[in-house]
Amino acid sequence: MNRPAIVIAGPTASGKSGLALAIARAFNGTVINADSMQVYDVLRVVTARPSQAEEAQAPHRLYGVLSPSVNCSAAAWKDMAAAAMAESWAQGRLPVVVGGTGLYLRTLMHGISPVPAIPDEIRTQARALLAERGNAAFHALLAARDPVMAARLDPANSQRLARAWEVIEASGQSLAAWQALPMEGAVDAHWLTLSLAPPREALYANCDQRFALMMEHGALDEVRALLALGLDPALPAMKALGVPELAALLAGTLEPKQAVSAAQKATRNYAKRQLTWFRHQLEKPEVVSAQLSERIFDEIFAKVRHFLLTRFQ
């Protein structure tokens, strides 16, 4: 438990990556990605991955390491992150885990229910059945087979519906039964958790401005190249923020201004959900509620120094 690690959580466009890099540079750290879209080797601009120049300033891990044809689970990411943290500690470096995917962070710090691995064919069948029947009818099928999970799930949440179905199909037990078991696989570390929660108006403005900049720096070309791969539309990379709207623009079903506006709105809505999740799910974080500035950086660096000095007490 005396091995130190920092987690930087927060909504999209809150400045997490810049803060992680600053901490890594100041405290001999390794930046480890905890964003479920930035693990893929596509969409550097659309997913706001650190630039090559930024990556050169400190070691970065788990950025652009998977093909978009892969469906990366929280458990699979946790295993990669644990290996990256072990490498960092072995090199005498401070792991700085940064991202907005709450499930990834919770799995890393607290473990995950021991749900068995789902065979690819069962996962594919579940999503095909969902696409064929539609959400409402699929939810009814799930309710007949697993009423406990069906009662917990929003019929509009396709991903969670398919997950509940594939688990009972593969294991014969409800996902609820697996979730009731003790968590497993947490990384043993002494954590400092920083949760960024900037004022909403400023955050939403950042979301809008950033997507406009993405359009100027090749976002549409990135989505065009992704679509050319002919991937399953249900894959996570195909649903990254901005991809559905820019795909509609390329298909001619949205005008440019409509696509940008819709993508900005989707980003703001996602940021709102992230703020809510981190407010209720993170355990005893150090909350940074102001916009990042030189003064705020100095305050955060002081917290990090104190954390590193007192972890053995």
Give pLDDT, residue 312: 53
Domain boundaries, given as residue ranges, for the chain? 4-112+183-210+269-310, 120-179
Per-residue pLDDT of the chain (313 residues; tens, 9 = 90+): 589 999 999 999 999 999 999 999 999 999 999 999 999 999 999 999 999 999 999 999 999 999 999 989 899 999 999 999 999 999 999 999 999 999 999 999 999 988 888 998 998 899 999 999 999 999 999 999 999 999 999 998 888 899 999 999 999 999 999 999 998 999 999 999 999 999 999 999 999 999 999 999 999 999 999 999 999 888 999 999 999 999 999 999 999 999 999 999 999 999 999 999 999 999 889 999 999 999 999 999 999 999 999 865 5
Structure tokens at 105: 């962070």
Burial of 129: CB neighbours in 10 Å, binned 0-12, 13-18, 19+: middle
Instruction: Give me the pLDDT at residue 116, please.
Output: 87
Q: Is 193 annotated as a binding residue?
A: no
Separation between Cα atoms, residue 255 and residue 79, nearest integer Å: 42
Q: Is 14 annotated as a binding residue?
A: yes
Residue 96 dihedral angles phi and psi, to the nearest 5°: -120, 100
289 annotated ligand binder: no
Task: Retrieve residue 63's tokens.
Answer: 């950025």
> What dotted CATH number matches 4-112+183-210+269-310?
3.40.50.300
Q: Which residues pair with 190 in a beta bridge?
A: 4
64 annotated among ligand-binding-site residues = no
218 is in an annotated binding site: no
CATH topology of domain 120-179: Histone, subunit A (1.10.20)
**16 carries a ligand binding annotation:** yes
pLDDT of amino acid 117: 85
User: What is the arrangement of strands in the sheet containing 94-99, beginning at the earlier edge strand?
Assistant: 60-61, 29-33, 94-99, 4-9, 190-196, 286-288
265 labelled ligand-binding: no
Cα 126 to Cα 162: distance, rounded to the nearest angstrom? 6
Domains 4-112+183-210+269-310 and 120-179 share a fold: no
Asked whether residue 158 is marked as a ligand-binding residue, the answer is no
Distance (Å, whole) CA 71 – CA 36: 10
